[in-house]
Amino acid sequence: MSTRVEKLKAQPKWMNQFSGKLKAIIGVHILLVIVIISINDLDYSAKISLFAFLSAMILWVTTKIPAGYVALSLIMFIIIMKAEGPELLYHSLSEEVVWLMVGSFIIGEAVKQSGLARRLTFSILQRSNSKNNILLSMSTVLFTSAFFVPSTSGRAAIAMPIINHLGQKFSANEKRVLAILAPVIILMSTSATLIGAGSHLIGISLLESTVGDSISYMEWFVWGAPFAMVITLISYAVIKWMLWPKDGMRQIENIQTEEQATQNKKMNSEEKKTLVLLVMLIVGWMTESIHGYDIAFVTMFGAIIVMLPNYGILNWKTGMKSVSWNLIVFIASATALGRVLVDTGVVAWIEKEMLSVLQLFVHAPEWLIVFIILLVTVTSHLYITSHTTRAIVFIPSLLLFSETIGIDPTTVVFLSLIGMNYCVTVPVSSKALLLFYEEGEISYDAKKLIKISTLLMPLYIFVMMLFYFTYWQWTGMQL
């Protein structure tokens, strides 16, 4: 013991100011620099961008520094190091996801202020005073929404005010679990339907244009819905087992008083207007291919209607106050960090390296080919933060891979798209996760997300393997 004290005294005074955790973080960053510098296939800009992205991931998970501050600082670092121009910072606020989130917060506040969130919450609460049953009912509603709202972020936007209101009946620790459970259920149920994510449509479009094959809505439903149901139930069970407080109360108290009275009241004009608006939004999201306006624009249009002077549900000032600008800055910066990996060629380099590895499995057994495809696609969310970008980047390469080794391209595309739907490790990998991240009372810690992903990710791959060699093959899927 005395020897250790003597060693500490012998260290320079400035070193004593650093904790063991900080020293470890600095050490990891130094190791990152050494490894990235040794990559000859990446140019200067790509190396700086890769370092910044990996540094952000480390700091988000290991420190309590605000996530937005970390992301914004590393954007500035990239610019200062001359890897990108100042436009990287300015254009970050023009990202689609930024305006989607702004609109979502305003619409969510309208749902709350009108009383509709309260009514929808009580419709769930009145069925049972058991927290377990309430969580299951909420998860069922979120799962079912996949068949009507063709956007994980749109479903999260609708769910957020309901979850916020529902959270009033739960403890602080239980609220943090709700903040993870809701987006995870939304994401896991995405595979149930062809319209569950835009990446599905992109993947099938690439399949049609490349080899002339396709996957119909009903084929996807037959293959995707059972898998989505099973993996959603597994995710629900894992989150409850790993995160739900052991001393949490099982009963909801006093739900048959004011709540019951509210539920029995007729809908007022504000509730009716909000409900009509939500229906219009859902229709607008579902008909994107017809009118040509993306989901973010439709959402912002809805937000403008919500704040319409004299006729809206909110006034301008209330609508602006409802937006979590801290989260918006984080989303803008984090999305820019992900996009710069594409712009500087980092993603193309990763894709090239992976494709060269895949070529080694030309004569591999079927189970190994399936496993490799799933391993590549399921982990792709760790370095390509955009769901759509993952499909655009990987589907052409995987189609080339399928033609090279002589396997069915339709099966490869379906397995790949389902694999890419997994994005439950870091908040930046999904808009649904971002919406609930660091937001008011209903928020979660990024460390908890990684904790459940360490179990969910291998389970996701295992369940996909199991489905492929049983149900999916029984229903006609074959490599």
Q: What is the distance between the alpha carbons of residues 161 and 108, in angstroms, rounded to a whole number?
A: 5
pLDDT over 90, % of the chain: 10
pLDDT of 309 > 60? The answer is: yes
Rounded to the nearest angstrom, the gap between the alpha carbon of residue 169 and the centroid of all alpha carbons in its chain is: 26
Q: What is the distance between the alpha carbons of residues 3 and 203, in angstroms, rounded to a whole number?
A: 63
Least confident of 56-70, 104-118, 148-162, 222-236: 148-162
| Contact residues for 417 (Cβ-Cβ < 8 A; gap 6+) | 199, 200, 203, 377, 391, 395
Q: What per-residue confidence (pLDDT) applies to 442? A: 65
DSSP, collapsed to helix, strand or coil, labels residue 130 as strand
388, 199 in Cβ contact below 8 A?
yes
Cα-based angle 185, 188, 192 (whole degrees, multiple of 5): 115
CB atoms within 10 A of CB 59: 19
Residue 171: DSSP 8-state: -
Which residues is 251 bridged to in the sheet? 130
Which of 2-6, 354-358, 405-409 has the highest mean predicted lDDT (pLDDT)?
A: 405-409
For residue 237 the two structure tokens come to: 């069970």
Query: How much is the average pLDDT of 274-299?
Result: 78
Q: What is the distance between the alpha carbons of residues 227 and 235, in angstroms, rounded to a whole number?
A: 12
Which of 90-99, 191-200, 217-226, 233-242 has the highest mean predicted lDDT (pLDDT)?
A: 233-242
Q: What is the pLDDT of residues 6-22, one digit of tens each?
A: 554 555 554 454 567 78
The count of C-alpha atoms lying within 13 angstroms of the C-alpha of 75, restricted to the half-sphere facing its C-beta, is 26
| Contact residues for 146 (Cβ-Cβ < 8 A; gap 6+) | 155, 186, 189, 190, 192, 193, 196, 228
Query: How much is the average pLDDT of 95-117?
Result: 76
For residue 177 the two structure tokens come to: 């679990």
For residue 225 the two structure tokens come to: 């819905």
Q: What is the distance between the alpha carbons of residues 54 and 346, in angstroms, rounded to a whole number?
A: 12
| Sole residue written with tokens 């260290």 | 11
For residue 234 the two structure tokens come to: 């597994």
Q: What is the pLDDT of residues 43-57, one digit of tens each?
A: 899 899 889 988 887
As a whole number of Å, the end-to-end CA separation of the chain is 63
Query: How much is the average pLDDT of 257-262?
Result: 50
Q: Per-residue confidence at 149, pLDDT binned at 50, 70, 90?
A: low
Q: What per-residue confidence (pLDDT) applies to 80? A: 93
CB atoms within 10 A of CB 325: 12
